[in-house]
Structure 1
Amino acid sequence: MLEMSVQNPPTNFPGPIDPSVLYEQEQHISSAIWEGQDRGTLRCHEHTSKIDGWKLTKKQIDLVGKAGFGYFRLIGQVSLNNPLISALVERWRRETNTFHLPSGEITITLDEVVRILGLRVDGEAVVRDNSVVGSNTEICETLLGKAPNSDAKEIKGGMVKLGWLKENFSECPEDASNEEVERRTRAFLMYLVGSTIFATTSGNLVPLLYLPLFKDFDKAGNYAWGAAALAFLYRQLGKASMKSQGTISGSLTLLQCWSYFHLNIGRPELKQDLSHRFPLALHWKGRLNTQTKSDVVMYRQKLDSLDSSDKQIDWTPYKDLDSSSIPENFRGDLTLGRSRTILLCMDKAEWHLPDRCLRQFGLHQSIPKDVQRRETKNNEVDNELDMSKRMDSELQEWSNRWQNIVDVVEDGDGTDESEYTTWYSNITRKLVHRRAFAPSQFQESVRLFFPLLSYIFLIQMLSGPIHIECNISYV
């Protein structure tokens, strides 16, 4: 029987020693990888390549701005690095909604959604709007002027095909009536959110329950779209971090750009200073020839080797950026990056826990509060179910977001983090990569040794027994 001392675990023990925080370790992808079951690169679903194909009139652009997406629509296509995204997902823990790096937790916070995507994070929660009644077909007729054909499979399970939206609404005549302009703009907004912040793993569908939120463009502008985008991404990261999953969706542009700012791993080299541009995702717009892509194993190894003093980690990447580039009506939202609250997106409710990542705000990191274990309300969008009626406590938590701003000791005052470091080393998963089971190494060894072994076995058959001792070590 193998026994291991909790006080003195082996140096290569991946953790956690204390499973009270990461209680889903057995279901997590890192456990499968440690046992040699490497799923490889995730299938990443975000569809930004065709957004720029929509021809918007000035009236439409004004309406998109009113709805809260004026800056966000400028981002367009960002080329994804799927292996990098896959390696990041392997370090995401849905028990804490943070990435567990060897030296501490780090996460995507609300202020970063503002900076990177240009979406407001303060406002009304994005939950179902029941002001528009009727079947899905009737709602489409009311708000779009036409409905998808179920026989042609343009609508499926309360979701409409992105291709149908683009085919029918992507070009608006300059002399179109105001009603027609509004209808085509709603279709664009549905295509925009369905391709990006609310992209599903279906690959080409967007839930129709978002459509009523765009009935009134002024009202749409009062929603916390950025907070909803982060709730959606948190949920998708949590799902994708389970060993049973092979896909991820949501705003992968946000995830990847966030990584580029915080981690010098797989980051493309910029040829010009774009720090004055808003939103910051414009740094990486389009297909960058300098982008470095490698396999997920390489990124996994690099993440495993990071430590607190490593120059590969930038906890506060925005501190030297010119804040004047951020529109004035967005700046107040930045404080919500330190709000310990619940983020909402339709049926999804996710904890936002900046107290676990205080280094990102230039603050001293102490042992954070325990996270309340939450029962997931519902894993998938249900077009027939109004989940907001069952989320009163979550809605109340969001309404109190300004009363729950985390503010503790600033870094640089000599405060000792040794207590936190000891605690964290016991509760975290330090390692994901296990060299002994790296498939590429094993396969290469077999390729090199197989001809030699075949020759030896042939000699053995012809001349009698031969003692062979072969030691192959993967370090």
Structure 2
Amino acid sequence: MSYELNLGPLSNEVLFLHNKHRALEVYKHSENFRSPINIMRSDRSFWKFVKQNPIGPRVEGYIRVAGFGGILDSGYRYIDHSLITLLVERWRPETHTFHLPLGETTVMLQQVNVLWDLPIKGLPVCGADNAITFSDAVVTCEEVMGLRPTENLVSGCTTFQDNSNNSINLHFLLYLHDLISCANINWGSAVLSCFWKGSLNHVDAPTHYLRSYRSQIQSVHERMFFWTLHDDVIGRLPGICTSGRDSWKSACPLISRRV
């Protein structure tokens, strides 16, 4: 008696990118995928610059007024390349969820609010509503930052990451004219939509943890997985981390800045 193993979903109507997914190649040619991917982080140069040029109290005050103080508090974080590789193999871009043996999970507004202290309520961030020519952008950049850029990008990285490594579009400067109003903009939703729309660049880097992670994730069951933060953890968080708590469980559309 012969058996045929179905490596893909029972229906391709939703997971239509199955044949192009990294996980299929990992299963078919596991010997070629024993090393984790080395994530090309776009915030490394930013935090290196901050370390070499510490932010003064006056500038830090402006950053916090604008609502981005949580980024400074989070600081630079080292990442586990093997763990990220595992998550990449479990990520489905069609549904924006990680497919685990016990079900699906994803990054939500709650995590953005808690980890980065970013507001998840307020006016949306949408690039389509803020079309800006380069000449206007140069003037805006000089007004807001006191410098004239030579190209349509300035240094940035931590929140809106893309394949340009550490660059960010100038139209975001339009939100910085009034720093108090800036703090009332829904930056959390914009960051989350950018994350869902983005991609990961990588090169291979050897380590011995990847096989262990792959094995452990297959053994995860419902009782081992925390779907939400425990109340005792939330109770210890500063107020700004829970500022959007009433929106954590809301069902609402996310607006991409590129739409």
Query: When the two structures are superposed, what TM-score results if normalisation uses the length of structure 1?
Result: 0.47
User: What is the aligned partner in structure 1 of residue 212 from structure 2?
Assistant: 298
**Does the C-alpha gap of structure 1 residues 17 and 130 become closer, same or farther in structure 2, counting only changes over 3 Å?**
closer
Task: Please tell me whether the aligned partners of residues 41 and 83 of structure 1 are also in contact (alpha carbons under 8 angstroms).
Answer: yes
- Segment of structure 1 superposing worse, 105-114 or 30-39: 30-39
Sequence identity percentage: 26
Q: Which runs of 5+ in 2 are unaligned?
A: none
**Are 2:101 and 1:99 equivalent residues in the alignment?**
no
**Does the C-alpha gap of structure 1 residues 201 and 225 become closer, same or farther in structure 2, counting only changes over 3 Å?**
same
Letter in 1 for 2:189: A
User: What is the aligned partner in structure 1 of residue 19 from structure 2?
Assistant: 26
Task: Please tell me whether the aligned partners of residues 123 and 223 of structure 1 are also in contact (alpha carbons under 8 angstroms).
Answer: yes
Distance 1:131 1:41 in 2: 36
Task: Please tell me whether the aligned partners of residues 131 and 171 of structure 2 are also in contact (alpha carbons under 8 angstroms).
Answer: no
**Are 2:52 and 1:140 equivalent residues in the alignment?**
no
3-state secondary structure, aligned to 2:255: strand
User: Which residues of 2 match residues 272-421 of structure 1 at below 5 A?
Assistant: 294-309=208-223, 311=224, 313-323=225-235, 325-327=237-239, 331-347=242-258, 387=259
Letter in 2 for 1:300: R
Distance 2:75 2:123 in 1: 26
Distance 1:324 1:42 in 2: 34
User: What is the aligned partner in structure 2 of residue 472 from structure 1?
Assistant: none
Residue number among 180, 184, 197 corresponding to 1:222 in the alignment: 184
Q: CA RMSD in A?
A: 2.7
Residue 22 (structure 1) shift: 1.5
Letter in 1 for 2:246: T
Residue number among 172, 176, 194 corresponding to 1:232 in the alignment: 194
Distance 1:221 1:307 in 2: 40
Distance 1:330 1:341 in 2: 20
What's the CA shift string for 1:166-195, capped at 9, x where partnerless? xxxxxxxxxxxxxxxxxxxxxxxxxxxx22
Query: When the two structures are superposed, what TM-score results if normalisation uses the length of structure 2?
Result: 0.82
Residue number among 189, 192, 195 corresponding to 2:157 in the alignment: 195
User: What is the aligned partner in structure 2 of residue 43 from structure 1?
Assistant: 39
User: What is the aligned partner in structure 2 of residue 402 from structure 1?
Assistant: none
Residue 126 (structure 1) shift: 1.1
Distance 1:74 1:53 in 2: 17
Residue number among 149, 172, 175 corresponding to 1:213 in the alignment: 175
Q: Which runs of 5+ in 1 are unaligned?
A: 5-9, 150-154, 163-193, 248-292, 348-386, 388-475
**Are 2:160 and 1:159 equivalent residues in the alignment?**
no
Distance 1:61 1:147 in 2: 22
Distance 1:52 1:197 in 2: 18
Letter in 2 for 1:25: H
Distance 1:43 1:324 in 2: 32
Distance 2:72 2:146 in 1: 23
User: What is the aligned partner in structure 2 of residue 79 from structure 1?
Assistant: 78
Task: Please tell me whether the aligned partners of residues 7 and 24 of structure 2 are also in contact (alpha carbons under 8 angstroms).
Answer: no
Residue 325 (structure 1) shift: 3.1
What's the CA shift string for 1:384-428, capped at 9, x where partnerless? xxx4xxxxxxxxxxxxxxxxxxxxxxxxxxxxxxxxxxxxxxxxx
User: What is the aligned partner in structure 1 of residue 60 from structure 2?
Assistant: 61
Task: Please tell me whether the aligned partners of residues 68 and 220 of structure 1 are also in contact (alpha carbons under 8 angstroms).
Answer: yes
Residue 14 (structure 1) shift: 3.6
Distance 2:37 2:25 in 1: 14
Residue 330 (structure 1) shift: 5.3
Residue 134 (structure 1) shift: 5.2
Distance 1:142 1:195 in 2: 21
Residue 96 (structure 1) shift: 1.6
Task: Please tell me whether the aligned partners of residues 110 and 334 of structure 1 are also in contact (alpha carbons under 8 angstroms).
Answer: no
Q: Which protein has the larger Cα radius of gyration, Structure 1 or Structure 2? A: 1
